[in-house]
């Protein structure tokens, strides 16, 4: 789960990483009040779950409350890489002497954590890594040993961070690693970690990705969701216990089992189409589950045809077919359905479907044939 910057910073602050003081604002007026409370110069920062806000104009300096209100109204509602800005973080402006890059993540192939540190932090670390890879120091951290004081110092020296504040920087690196491990993060990235004019080392930005599988250890993390604006269709699917992810094509996909759904996405793209979603109804899907899944897709205006791909195991194809019959009768589906059934009770399922086959319900013998038909119906390929 990707956190907003302000949420990430609140977690970093818990383990002792210095962060500038700030407040959340959801309106321009709240941004004014925040600026009044903080005093002096402030930075108005768009809170979106995506990077590159600075370049997109989502980060602006303000001299005081009036300016804070004006800048806030410019940033609110802005679209940053498909994310609408609804929340702002108003923060005490920092006097920056240097901008560094630090991240901790997991390197699965090495079975170790990976630390990356660069003295060339700021906005475009990808460009630094591509053009001057030697400016980004990469070191594995043994998860059993953790980031020891000597290794933190080694990172600081090898990356060429400021010598006078090396001890402080090393301590901050260790706190960031501590956050990464103790909070069960997939990623802790601070770009930039800054050195201020007065010699302080602070996290000016925070990209924290939490591992939702570890939330049982951190029940309070669920509350972070309250600040997100959920995609209405994803939310509807979640409430119905369906695994749904929105994609950007126009062929709706329903399948049982994550592996089968992923291969269905591949086959759709192989035959020249693009899926509008990933939707896994899970094992043991019955008529009600199929109706639920179809109903979720009716709320997505980008869908132009739907491909149902079921491989019956625990799931029985006759029940799936009954679900389709019920949904077609009761839901007034706005697009044609292509259905491929195989596995447990496939023969019965196909028989049930044959009875309602039409321009709107099209049984297909194989996954490939089904994908070709669904893609053609969506008007995506010749
Ligand atoms: P990102 O573009 O989404 O990564 O957002 P950041 O929080 O990293 O901010 C981008 C850049 O804005 C930073 O690298 C800084 O150069 C600048 N910036 C952010 N906050 C401040 C601040 O308090 N003072 C100054 N002078 N610059 C800031
Ligand atoms: Mn940044």
Q: How far is CA 79 from CA 56, 83, 351, in A?
A: 9, 5, 49
Confidence (pLDDT) at 286: 86
Q: Are strands 87-92 and 42-47 parallel, antiparallel or unpaired?
A: antiparallel
Confidence (pLDDT) at 381: 54
Give the list of residues 6+ apart from residue 207 with CB closer than 8 angstroms, or none: 2, 3, 5, 8, 51, 187, 188, 189, 190, 191
What averages of pLDDT result for each successive group of 10 residues across the chain (382 residues)?
96 97 97 97 95 93 97 96 93 97 97 97 88 95 97 98 96 98 98 97 97 94 88 89 91 95 97 96 87 94 96 93 91 93 96 95 96 94 48
CA distance 301 to 303: 6
Confidence (pLDDT) at 184: 97
Residue 97 CB–ligand 1 contact under 6 Å: no
| Residue 39, phi then psi, degrees to nearest 5 | 80, 150
Residue 59 CB–ligand 1 contact under 6 Å: yes
Closest CA to 153 of 140, 135, 136, 165: 165
Confidence (pLDDT) at 248: 87
Ligand nearest to the CA of 99: 1
Q: What's the gap in Å between 190 CA and the centre of ligand 2?
A: 7
Compute the CA torsion angle 338, 343, 349, 350 (nearest 10 deg): 60
Ligand nearest to the CA of 43: 1
Q: What's the gap in Å between 60 CA and the centre of ligand 1?
A: 9
Over the Cα atoms of the chain, what is R_g?
26
With the most atoms of ligand 1 within 8 angstroms of its CB, the residue from 196, 204, 208 to mutate is 204
C-beta of residue 107 within 8 angstroms of C-beta of residue 139? no
Question: ∠ at Cα 81 (78, 87), nearest 5°?
Answer: 45
CA distance 42 to 56: 19
Among the atoms of ligand 1, which is closest to the Cα of residue 5? Answer: 7
Q: How far is CA 92 from CA 14, 67, 363, 381, in A?
A: 19, 14, 62, 53
Supply the pTM of this predicted model: 0.78
C-beta of residue 7 within 8 angstroms of C-beta of residue 224? yes
Ligand nearest to the CA of 53: 1
Residue 193 CB–ligand 1 contact under 6 Å: no
Q: What's the gap in Å between 204 CA and the centre of ligand 1?
A: 7
Give the other-Cβ count within 10 Å of 265's Cβ: 22
Q: What's the gap in Å between 114 CA and the centre of ligand 1?
A: 24
**Nearest-CA residue for atom 10 of ligand 1:** 54
What beta strand segments (E) does the chain contain? 22-25, 42-47, 59-62, 79-80, 83-84, 87-92, 96-107, 112-118, 136-141, 185-196, 201-203, 207-210, 243-246, 251-255, 277-280, 305-312, 337-343, 361-363
CA distance 308 to 40: 59
Q: What's the gap in Å between 198 CA and the centre of ligand 1?
A: 18
Closest CA to 249 of 375, 373, 81: 375
C-beta of residue 156 within 8 angstroms of C-beta of residue 169? yes
Q: Give the 3-state secondary structure of 86-125.
A: CEEEEEECCCEEEEEEEEEEEECCCCEEEEEEECCCCCCH
Q: Which two tokens stand for residue 331?
A: 């839901």
Q: What's the gap in Å between 76 CA and the centre of ligand 2?
A: 19
With the most atoms of ligand 1 within 8 angstroms of its CB, the residue from 57, 59, 63, 208 to mutate is 59
Q: Which two tokens stand for residue 13?
A: 């602050």
Question: ∠ at Cα 318 (316, 323), nearest 5°?
Answer: 100
Closest CA to 207 of 8, 359, 1, 43: 8
C-beta of residue 331 within 8 angstroms of C-beta of residue 299? no
- Known catalytic residues? 101, 189
**Nearest-CA residue for atom 7 of ligand 1:** 205
CA distance 267 to 260: 10
Residue 121 CB–ligand 1 contact under 6 Å: no
Residue 96 CB–ligand 1 contact under 6 Å: yes
């Amino acid at each position: 789960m990707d956190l907003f910057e302000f949420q990430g910073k609140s977690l970093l602050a818990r383990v002792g990483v210095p962060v500038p003081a700030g407040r959340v604002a959801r309106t321009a007026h709240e941004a004014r009040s925040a600026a009044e409370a903080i005093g002096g110069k402030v930075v108005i920062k768009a809170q979106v779950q995506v990077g590159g806000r600075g370049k997109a104009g989502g980060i602006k300096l303000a001299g005081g409350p009036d300016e804070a209100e004006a800048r806030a109204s410019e940033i609110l509602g802005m679209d940053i890489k498909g994310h609408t800005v609804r929340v702002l973080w108003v923060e005490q402006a920092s006097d920056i002497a240097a901008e560094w890059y630090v991240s901790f993540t997991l390197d699965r192939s090495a079975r170790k954590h990976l630390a990356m540190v660069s003295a060339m932090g700021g906005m475009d670390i990808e460009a630094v890594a591509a053009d001057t890879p030697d400016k980004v120091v990469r070191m594995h951290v043994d998860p059993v040993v953790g980031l020891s004081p000597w290794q933190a110092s080694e990172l600081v020296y090898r990356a060429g961070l400021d010598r006078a504040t090396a001890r402080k920087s090393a301590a901050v690196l260790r706190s960031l690693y501590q956050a990464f491990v103790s909070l069960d993060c997939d990623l802790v990235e601070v770009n930039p970690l800054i050195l201020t004019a007065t010699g302080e080392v602070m996290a000016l930005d925070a990209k924290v990705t939490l591992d939702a599988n570890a939330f049982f250890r951190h029940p309070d993390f669920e509350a972070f969701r309250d600040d997100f604006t959920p995609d209405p269709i994803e939310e509807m699917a979640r409430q119905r216990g369906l695994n749904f992810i929105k994609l950007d094509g126009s062929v709706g996909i329903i399948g049982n089992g994550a592996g089968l759904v992923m291969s269905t996405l591949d086959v759709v793209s192989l035959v020249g189409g693009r899926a509008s979603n990933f939707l896994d109804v899970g094992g043991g899907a019955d008529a009600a589950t199929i109706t639920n899944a179809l109903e979720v897709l009716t709320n997505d205006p980008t869908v132009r045809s739907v491909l149902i791909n079921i491989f019956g195991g625990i799931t029985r194809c006759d029940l799936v077919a009954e679900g389709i019959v019920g949904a077609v009768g009761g839901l007034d589906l706005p697009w044609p359905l292509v259905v491929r059934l195989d596995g447990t009770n496939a023969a019965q399922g196909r028989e049930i479907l044959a009875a309602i086959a039409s321009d709107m319900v099209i049984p297909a013998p194989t996954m490939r044939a089904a994908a070709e038909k669904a893609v053609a119906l969506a008007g995506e390929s010749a």
